[in-house]
Chain A
């Protein structure tokens, strides 16, 4: 999986402009990989495979984005880092809302989740069957970002499970459950 922009070269003095890649490439890659995995395997196996891919990517990205930062101590700090800097780097915005029940469950809400922006939304108020179908399709695209978030959190020492819930497209909530 490609990253949105490559890391800047550390050459002292000489500043090369960072190479840029069109964002549509990443979106098309995500869409195509979902389709490919669903073709090769059916149902939960495809979801698990996509999440595993996301997991690896999340680990690597977490290591990269924590480059110059001091170490994060707490679980809460790790989650805050993921909500702010990690989300900013991946999805160009920060998480809009973070809730916790202080017992190990965190809910991250993103209004306008970037990777779902291209999904066509049934008009609000249309029949619930269509909305349900749209939700199902959105779910299949959410395995990858769930995996990325889980990978980042696990690499930083917080072992957990992440579930996504596309309530009203394009807004989306991620529920993080810390494993004891």
Chain B
């Protein structure tokens, strides 16, 4: 999840432990796809954007909120529908975190509950 000023607010690795190199690579791919997200944003007004960028067989799908917060998911070709529902549910959770008066919109999300719920959702919806 990337905030308004393009800094990461929350990152999670949903597939299981990987070696360091791949982790850096994935993070890099996600951040470089932000430009592609911006391009798509200019073209359409929908919050759900389809696959925004491709790299080596991995796809990046994005979801953009009205407050310019971007949710990015790096995956290898999951079904669009399940990604949509995953994003909607994560958006709900994100809203709840944001309404916390002790949380500023630009700080990282440190809540363990949020982390746990996101992982649960991923297991349930993305398999």
**A interface list, Cβ under 8 A from B:** 1, 3, 7, 10, 56, 59-60, 62-64, 66-67, 69-73, 155-157
Which residues of B sit under 8 angstroms from A156, Cβ to Cβ?
A: 66-68
Query: Counting chain A CB atoms within 10 Å of each CB, which of B45, B46, B66, B105 scores highest?
Result: B66
Say whether, besides A69-B66, A71-B41, A71-B47, A64 and B105 are in contact (CB < 8 Å): no
Excluding A59-B67, A63-B98, A71-B46, 6 further A-B contacts by CB distance (< 8 Å) are: A59-B105, A62-B67, A63-B105, A155-B67, A156-B68, A157-B68
Determine if A67 and B67 form an interchain contact, defined as CB atoms under 8 angstroms apart: no
- The CA-CA distance from A66 to B67 in the complex, in Å, is 8
Does B25 count as interface, using CB distance less than 8 angstroms?
no
Q: Count of B residues near A, CB < 8 Å? A: 19
Determine if A71 and B99 form an interchain contact, defined as CB atoms under 8 angstroms apart: no
Which residues of B sit under 8 angstroms from A73, Cβ to Cβ?
A: 45
Determine if B104 and A72 form an interchain contact, defined as CB atoms under 8 angstroms apart: no
Say whether, besides A1-B101, A56-B104, A71 and B95 are in contact (CB < 8 Å): no
- The CA-CA distance from A157 to B45 in the complex, in Å, is 15
Determine if A71 and B45 form an interchain contact, defined as CB atoms under 8 angstroms apart: yes
Determine if A70 and B46 form an interchain contact, defined as CB atoms under 8 angstroms apart: yes
Which residues of B sit under 8 angstroms from A63, Cβ to Cβ?
A: 65-67, 69, 95, 98, 105
Does B19 count as interface, using CB distance less than 8 angstroms?
no
| CB closest chain-B residue, reference A9 | B92
Instruction: Report the minimum CB–CB distance from B97 to chain A (whole Å).
Output: 10
Determine if B101 and A71 form an interchain contact, defined as CB atoms under 8 angstroms apart: no
Interface residue SS majority, chain A: loop
Determine if A64 and B98 form an interchain contact, defined as CB atoms under 8 angstroms apart: yes
Instruction: Report the minimum CB–CB distance from B39 to chain A (whole Å).
Output: 14
| CB closest chain-B residue, reference A7 | B95
| CB closest chain-A residue, reference B104 | A56
Which residues of A sit under 8 angstroms from B68, Cβ to Cβ?
A: 156-157
Say whether, besides A63-B95, A69-B66, A156-B66, A56 and B101 are in contact (CB < 8 Å): yes
Instruction: Report the minimum CB–CB distance from B102 to chain A (whole Å).
Output: 10
Say whether, besides A69-B66, A156-B66, A10 and B92 are in contact (CB < 8 Å): yes
Instruction: Report the minimum CB–CB distance from A68 to chain B (whole Å).
Output: 9
Which residues of A sit under 8 angstroms from B47, Cβ to Cβ?
A: 70-71
- The CA-CA distance from A10 to B88 in the complex, in Å, is 11
Contact with A along B100-125 (1 / 0, CB 8 A): 01001100000000000000000000
| CB closest chain-A residue, reference B94 | A63
Which residues of B sit under 8 angstroms from A56, Cβ to Cβ?
A: 101, 104
Determine if A64 and B99 form an interchain contact, defined as CB atoms under 8 angstroms apart: yes
Determine if A60 and B66 form an interchain contact, defined as CB atoms under 8 angstroms apart: no
Say whether, besides A7-B95, A56-B101, A155-B105, A66 and B45 are in contact (CB < 8 Å): no
